């Protein structure tokens, strides 16, 4: 423990943010790095606990507490505090394939389980992680690491999101010949087209993809497995296949289907990202919220991203609807530390809407009941209705409150109501079994599917989840695939 009294001497300081009304004028990341001296102080706050809940990754109260990757948080915090960046980087990268991604977009399950947070503010673990990896890149410590020996085994990874990239990186470093198939025009999957630029700039994704390519991973883009190339071809040409296609089947909003001006959130966000990359956001090349009254159905991270994107487009107004009641502002007795805190938070997009329009865009216990169009058939207004919890055969459901309808102007309705699992065609092409939630079914506690030499990882196996979980899934699937190919594995 580098600074035994650090948690007593230093207050928590997170990476500062550019003011809301300034950052909505661009699509770049808006968090700034702390100076090195202050960052080392933040690392000194780590208590190096005897039982570090931050790296536990265990389920408590129905939700995971601590890092699913079991990152060696106290170790690299100590090394960061003492100025040993090279050693801190080595310990960080031992368990985390892509700290530059999790350091930006992870909700920091580690911090929620930090012992310092029991009676005060937790250690700024995520910001420390980002400082280590970006410091390593800046210092030239991170370069290609091609394997010294090749095994001759060939592995196909279908999907280049965080799970696919993690699996590909691990298997390539083991010495296998890895080809990643991606249906979009650029690798990255969710990282490229599901997360907007202000949270994760795309040159960060490209930097890692180029590094992996230099290490020997082959990327095959604009190639949709199950359509452009058959499952039989991959099974014939490769010794193993890992399916990492995500869970991109959006949950529909029946009362809005077929209405002009209604889009799924993932399509809205992807169109902006692609237009930024291809045309510099030229008008007519993306789903545009400029000058429109925007209503977003869904109160999660994707809904918040839609708020931030709509504000940057120049929307006239934005409202975000959430079916559930507002969470409490502080932990309740039923939600003690180190469980994940089920509390209300105001994210960056909502903060920007508040700064711009003077009011919180969120409306809780509210849902769209009806869409109304103008004479041309385009969406003009939505009718919302308030909801309340009621018991239905012993289950709690959210039911409409009669007479609570309200009409809102709306020319753009974005559906961010979650996902129903993976799209069918790739899984069907390989003939793998599915579970009750339509996810790819695997052996208990493992990643092998019901089809020989086919494995699955990430959201396609576990359902919609976090980037950190996808990385953990990809690494675990890589180890299991390696054992299948070689009879043993030395992968972490």
pLDDT digits (tens, 9 = 90+) for 249-308: 999 999 999 999 999 999 999 999 999 999 999 999 999 999 999 999 999 999 999 999
Give CA–CA dist 79/91, Å, rounded.
9
Res 61: pLDDT: 87
> Which CATH code for domain 154-248+420-486?
3.50.50.60
Sequence-distant (6+) residues with CB within 8 A of 36 are: none
Q: Which residues of the chain have pLDDT under 70?
A: 1
Buried b (16+ CB within 10 A) or exposed e, 229-256: bebeebbeebbbbbbbbbbbebeebeeb
The CATH superfamily holding the domain 254-415 is FAD/NAD(P)-binding domain (3.50.50.60)
Question: In which region does residue 463 sit, left (phi positive, over 0), alpha (psi from -120 to 50) or beta (all else)?
Answer: left
Question: Measuring CA to CA, which residue among 91, 96, 102, 98 is closest to residue 206?
Answer: 98
3-class secondary-structure state, position 213: helix
253 token code pair: 């909003």
Beta pairing partners, 485? none
Question: Measuring CA to CA, which residue among 358, 367, 356, 277 is closest to residue 320?
Answer: 367
Q: What is the DSSP letter of 229?
A: B
Strands (E), 233-311: 240-243, 262-264, 293-297
Strands 454-456 and 317-322: unpaired
Res 1: pLDDT: 65
- What is the greatest pairwise CA distance in the chain? 71
Give CA–CA dist 282/284, Å, rounded.
6
Do 6-138 and 254-415 come out as alike in CATH topology? no
Res 396: pLDDT: 86
What order do you get walking across the sheet with 293-297 strand by strand? Answer: 262-264, 412-415, 293-297, 317-322, 362-364
Res 395: pLDDT: 87
- Domain residue ranges of the chain, discontinuous segments joined by +: 6-138, 154-248+420-486, 254-415
Res 391: pLDDT: 87
6-138 maps to CATH 1.10.3720.10: no
Res 368: pLDDT: 97
Q: How many CA atoms lie within 13 A of 468 on its CB side?
A: 22
Instruction: Give the angle 225-459-128 at the CA atoms, nearest 5°.
Output: 120
Strands 412-415 and 293-297: parallel
Cβ atoms of 459 and 418 within 8 Å: the answer is no
Res 62: pLDDT: 87
Give CA–CA dist 188/244, Å, rounded.
12
What separation in angstroms does the CA of 61 have from each of 122, 300, 398, 459, 472?
Answer: 20, 20, 22, 22, 21
Residue 24: CB atoms within 10 A of its CB come to 22
Res 394: pLDDT: 80
3-class secondary-structure state, position 388: strand
The distance from CA 396 to its chain's CA centroid, rounded to whole angstroms, is: 29
């Amino acid at each position: 423990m580098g600074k035994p009294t650090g948690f007593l001497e230093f207050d928590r300081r997170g990476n500062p943010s550019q003011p809301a009304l300034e950052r909505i004028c661009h699509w770049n990341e808006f968090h700034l790095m702390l100076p090195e001296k202050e960052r080392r102080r933040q690392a000194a706050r780590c208590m190096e606990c005897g039982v570090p809940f931050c790296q536990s990754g265990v389920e408590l109260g129905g939700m995971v507490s601590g890092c699913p990757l079991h990152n060696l948080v106290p170790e690299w915090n100590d090394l960061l505090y003492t100025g040993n960046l090279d050693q801190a980087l080595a310990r960080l990268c031992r368990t985390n394939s892509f700290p530059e991604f999790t350091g930006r977009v992870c909700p920091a399950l580690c911090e929620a389980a930090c012992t310092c947070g029991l009676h005060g503010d937790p250690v700024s673990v995520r910001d420390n992680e980002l400082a280590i990896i970006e410091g390593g890149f800046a210092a030239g410590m991170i370069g290609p690491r091609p394997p010294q020996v090749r095994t001759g085994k060939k592995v196909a990874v279908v999907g280049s999101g965080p799970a696919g990239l993690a699996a590909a990186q691990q298997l390539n470093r083991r010495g296998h010949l890895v080809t990643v198939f991606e249906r979009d025009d650029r690798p990255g999957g969710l990282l490229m087209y599901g997360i907007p630029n202000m949270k994760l700039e795309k040159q960060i994704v490209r930097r890692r993809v180029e590094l992996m390519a230099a290490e020997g991973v082959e990327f095959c883009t604009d190639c949709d497995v199950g359509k452009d190339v058959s499952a039989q071809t991959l099974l014939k040409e490769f010794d193993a296949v890992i399916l990492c296609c995500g869970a991109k089947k959006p949950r529909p909003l029946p009362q809005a289907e077929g209405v002009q001006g209604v889009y799924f959130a993932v399509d809205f966000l992807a169109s902006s990202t692609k237009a930024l990359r291809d045309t510099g956001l030229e008008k007519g090349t993306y789903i545009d919220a400029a000058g429109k009254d925007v209503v977003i159905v869904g109160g999660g991270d994707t809904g918040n991203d839609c708020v931030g994107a709509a504000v940057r487009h120049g929307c006239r107004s934005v409202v975000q609807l959430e079916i559930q009641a507002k969470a409490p502002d502080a932990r309740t007795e039923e939600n003690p530390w180190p469980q994940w805190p089920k509390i209300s938070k105001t994210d960056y997009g909502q903060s920007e809407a508040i700064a711009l329009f003077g009011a919180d865009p969120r409306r809780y216990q509210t849902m769209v009941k009806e869409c109304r169009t103008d004479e041309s058939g385009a969406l003009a207004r939505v009718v919302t209705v308030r909801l309340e919890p009621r018991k239905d055969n012993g289950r709690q459901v959210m039911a409409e409150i009669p007479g609570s309808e309200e009409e809102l102007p709306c020319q753009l309705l974005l559906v961010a109501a979650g996902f129903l699992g993976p799209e069918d065609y790739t899984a069907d092409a390989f003939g793998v079994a599915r579970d009750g939630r339509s996810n790819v079914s695997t052996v208990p506690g493992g990643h092998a599917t019901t089809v020989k030499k086919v494995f699955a990882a990430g959201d396609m196996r576990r359902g919609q989840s976090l980037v950190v979980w996808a990385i953990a899934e990809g690494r675990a699937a890589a180890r299991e695939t390696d054992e299948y190919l070689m009879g043993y594995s030395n992968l972490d």
